[in-house]
């Protein structure tokens, strides 16, 4: 036989046999695959989180370091969490902590001018940042592993020896002042500010904001004093991940902390709010064509034994995106909002807040409010379906691996837990706790922690248009849904002084 013909015949036989095998396999698979996607059955994906003790180290200075090697990419990331926060702002100098945090990075160091520091960081393609939030401070750096020694020099110089260069501080204050002038421009920022005042009270640190007066009172010496008071190694929790050897990195950090004195006194505790939010409907007038609506009340803390049922409950109610009831009803069914949902925050230092929220055209706000209130009540009166329960449990339980998806998220998660004193067994028990939630548990949690008779409701937008409603649907009126029948108006404050036209 002609060799060429023989080769073609062999190839044809192989092709026929392969096709027959694939058809047989396809036939077998067809019998196993259900006719509809919702009939697919998947086994539970159980994930065992890593042990924090394998990553935790305590240095001679008292600093805690969570460290993980990752040699896949030649990068190094280092972050530090510092026991400080804006809650420590002195009276009359609101905004001091925030300026201290930002100017540590932008204000140069005692050995390197700000311009030279920026230039070298840019040359090394290193990202170096710092800041102070409500309840903690922080600083981070990221770079190529080949440059890690020099970047750590810059990073620790910033942490230890900030110069708070006067011209940079003046620029930051001028920029912040310009930002203050625009405080009443956006309904988003108005909503966040006024909702927080309703939930926490105007005197709580989380509600206080800097004004032109407090900003003007802050000096460079204040920044130096704040840094000196709160930045000490025994208040540092580091998370380090990347392409390095653990022993070498720990020695490097130890070297940079050498001789830095430890703090003697403990940082003051984070204060709890001392008010109970008042039930009622609150209007904030802003001439825009859409209204922003917030509905809620205080929640509970993350240590609450009902936390798993609450996580599942909120996922079904409004936290689960397109599978949640509020999103499905308000957006998918009625087309009243682009985004709608709820959060049930489990507070770390004090009770979190339950909040359902959406943004809708002014005439349709009333109808959307009615839907949200109906869904809140429904959670308390009817058991969730088996399908809803299964979807929510899987969504919540299978979010766990994301906390530990790579070396960086692992050490960051454990550093955060160290800072907030989370129960060390929390992650180990998480999936089992979530998967143990039943429909009865969701109903019980809804009845215990959702309080439709104690809601605070706030609408930001064109008040006249929101209250007028949709002429084509006169049955829906915002005023009819005012919790307890109380209706209040919140005036916009002066953006620079935050003084309200009337006492509020």
- Using CB atoms within 10 Å of the CB of residue 57, give its burial: 0 to 12 exposed, 13 to 18 middle, 19+ buried: middle
What does the pLDDT look like over 244-261, one tens digit per residue?
A: 999 999 999 999 999 999
Nearest-angstrom CA–CA distance, 162 and 171: 17
Query: What is the C-alpha separation between 499 and 504, in angstroms, rounded?
Result: 9
Q: How far apart are CA 405 and CA 106, in angstroms?
A: 32
pLDDT at 238 over 50: yes
**What is the model's pLDDT at position 46?**
80
Helix axes 426-435, 386-397, angle to 10 degrees: 170
**246-257 and 148-160 are packed helices; what angle lies between their axes, rounded to 10 degrees?**
30
Cα dihedral: 85, 87, 90, 94 (round 10): 90
Same fold, 52-257 and 280-489: yes
User: Do 141 and 77 meet the contact criterion of CB atoms below 8 Å apart?
Assistant: yes
* Maximum alpha-carbon separation in the chain: 104
Kindly state the tokens that stand for 98: 């925030």
| Res 97 pLDDT > 50 | yes
| Among the listed residues 92, 95, 100, 94, the one whose alpha carbon sits nearest the alpha carbon of residue 137 | 100
Instruction: Give the pairing of strands 280-285 and 456-461.
Output: parallel
Using DSSP's 3-state secondary structure scheme, residue 146 falls into helix
State the Cα–Cα distance between residues 205 and 379, nearest whole angstrom.
33
pLDDT band at 502 (very low <50, low <70, confident <90, very high): confident
CA distance 117 to 448: 55
- Confidence (pTM): 0.89
pLDDT tens string 65-79: 999 999 999 999 999
Q: Which residues pair with 294 in a beta bridge?
A: 357, 458
Cα first-last separation, the chain:
101
Query: Using CA atoms, how far apart are residues 231 and 261, in angstroms rounded to an integer?
Result: 10
Q: What does the pLDDT average to over 149-160?
A: 98
Q: In this predicted structure, what is the pLDDT of residue 18?
A: 53
* pLDDT, tens only, 11-61: 555 454 555 455 445 444 455 778 887 677 777 778 999 999 999 999 999
CATH 3.30.830.10 fits 280-489, yes or no: yes
Name which of 22-26, 326-330, 409-413, 483-487 the model is least confident about.
22-26
- Contacts of residue 285, defined as CB under 8 A and 6 or more positions apart, other chains included, come to 461, 462, 463, 489, 491, 492
Q: pLDDT per residue over 339-393, tens digit each?
A: 999 999 999 999 999 999 999 999 999 999 999 999 999 999 999 999 999 999 9
pLDDT, tens digit (0-9, with 9 covering 90-100), for 101-141 = 999 999 999 999 999 999 999 999 999 999 999 999 999 99
Between CA 490 and CA 191 the distance in angstroms is 11
pLDDT at 393: 98
Q: What is residue 481's DSSP assignment? A: G
What is residue 37's predicted lDDT score, i.e. its pLDDT?
76
Report the mean per-residue pLDDT for the chain.
Answer: 94
DSSP 14-45: HHHHHHHHHHHHHHHHHHHS-SSGGG------
pLDDT at 45: 73
- CA-CA distance, 276 to 195, in Å (whole number)? 13
Give the closest residue to 392 by CA, choosing from 450, 287, 308: 308
- In the DSSP assignment, the letter for residue 329 is I
Judged against a pLDDT cut of 90, whether residue 306 lies above it is answered with yes
Which sequence spans correspond to the domains of the chain?
A: 52-257, 280-489
CB 209 within 8 A of CB 498: yes
Reported as a single tens digit per residue, the pLDDT across 422-431 is: 998 999 999 9
Q: How many secondary structure helices (H) and strands (E) does the chain include?
A: 17, 14
What CATH number does the domain located at 52-257 have? 3.30.830.10
Helices (H), 182-277: 187-200, 212-217, 220-230, 246-257
- Judged against a pLDDT cut of 50, whether residue 4 lies above it is answered with no
Please check whether residue 260 is in contact with residue 315, taking contact to mean a CB–CB distance below 8 angstroms. no
Residues 78 and 67: their CA atoms lie apart, in Å, by 9
Q: Which two tokens stand for residue 320?
A: 């689960």
CA 222 to chain centre: 30
β-pairing verdict for 56-58 and 64-69: antiparallel
The answer to whether the Cα torsion of 366, 368, 369, 374 is positive or negative is positive
């Amino acid at each position: 036989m002609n060799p060429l013909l023989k080769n073609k015949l062999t190839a044809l036989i192989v092709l026929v046999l392969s096709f027959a095998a694939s058809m047989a396999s396809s036939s077998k698979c067809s019998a196993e695959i259900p006719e509809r996607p919702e009939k697919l059955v998947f086994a539970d994906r159980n994930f065992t989180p890593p042990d924090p003790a394998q990553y935790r180290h305590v240095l001679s200075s008292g600093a805690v370091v969570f460290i993980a090697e990752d040699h896949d990419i030649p990068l190094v990331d280092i972050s530090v969490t510092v026991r400080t926060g804006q809650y420590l702002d002195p009276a009359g100098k609101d905004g001091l902590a925030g300026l201290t945090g930002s100017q540590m990075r932008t204000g140069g160091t005692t050995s390197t001018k700000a311009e030279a520091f920026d230039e070298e960081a840019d040359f090394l393609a290193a990202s170096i940042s710092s800041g102070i939030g409500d309840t903690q401070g922080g600083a981070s750096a990221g770079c190529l592993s080949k440059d890690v020694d020099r970047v750590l020099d810059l990073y620790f110089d910033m942490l230890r020896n900030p110069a708070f260069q006067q011209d940079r501080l003046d620029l930051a204050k001028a920029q912040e002042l310009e930002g203050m002038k625009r405080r009443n421009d956006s309904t988003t920022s108005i909503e966040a500010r006024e909702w927080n005042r309703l939930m926490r009270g105007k005197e709580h640190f989380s509600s206080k904001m800097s004004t032109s007066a407090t900003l003007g009172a802050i000096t460079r010496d204040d920044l130096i004093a704040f840094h000196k008071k709160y930045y000490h190694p025994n208040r540092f929790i580091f998370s380090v991940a990347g392409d390095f050897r653990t022993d070498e990195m720990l020695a490097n950090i130890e070297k940079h902390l050498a001789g830095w004195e430890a703090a003697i006194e403990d940082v003051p505790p984070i204060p709890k709010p001392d008010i109970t939010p008042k039930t009622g409907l609150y209007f904030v007038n802003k001439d825009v064509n859409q209204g922003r609506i917030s509905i809620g009340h205080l929640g509970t803390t993350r240590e609450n034994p009902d936390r798993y049922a609450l996580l599942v409950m909120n996922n079904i109610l409004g936290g689960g995106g397109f599978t949640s009831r509020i999103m499905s009803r308000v957006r998918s069914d009625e087309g009243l909002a682009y985004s709608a949902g709820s959060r049930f925050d489990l507070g770390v230092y004090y009770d979190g807040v339950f909040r359902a929220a959406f943004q809708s055209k002014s005439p349709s706000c009333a109808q959307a409010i009615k839907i949200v209130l109906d869904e809140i009540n429904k959670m308390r009166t009817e058991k969730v379906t088996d399908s809803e329960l299964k979807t929510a449990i899987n969504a919540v339980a299978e979010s766990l691996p994301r906390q530990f998806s790579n070396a960086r998220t692992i050490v960051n998660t454990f550093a955060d837990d160290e800072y907030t004193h989370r129960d060390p067994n929390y992650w180990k028990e998480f999936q089992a706790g979530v998967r143990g939630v039943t429909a009865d548990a969701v109903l019980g949690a809804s009845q215990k922690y959702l309080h439709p008779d104690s809601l605070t409701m706030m609408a930001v937008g064109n008040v006249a248009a929101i209250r007028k409603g949709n002429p084509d649907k006169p049955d829906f009126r915002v005023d009819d849904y005012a919790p307890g029948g109380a209706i209040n108006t919140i005036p916009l404050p002066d953006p620079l002084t935050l003084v309200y036209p009337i006492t509020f």
